[in-house]
Amino acid sequence: MNQAIRVLLTEDEESATFITIAMTMPHNFTESNPDH
């Protein structure tokens, strides 16, 4: 899980913002990105 987050952070700063939101709402993150 942490590895995937690091990849997103490295790829795009916008993803970092999304990850921050995902951490706040982990249930939302899972439902929004079932493929990931």
Q: Tens of pLDDT along 5-36?
A: 666 656 677 777 877 877 777 565 556 555 55
pLDDT value for 6? 66
pLDDT of residue 14: 75
Give the pLDDT of residue 30.
59
Looking at residue 23, its pLDDT comes to: 77
* CA dist., res. 10 & res. 27, Å (int): 23
Quote the CA–CA distance of 27 and 13 in Å, as a whole number. Answer: 22
Q: What is the pTM of this model?
A: 0.31
Cα torsion at 22, 5, 9, 13 (round to 10°)? -20
pLDDT of residue 20: 80
Closest residue by Cα to residue 29 from 6, 13, 7, 17: 17
d(CA 14, CA 20): 10
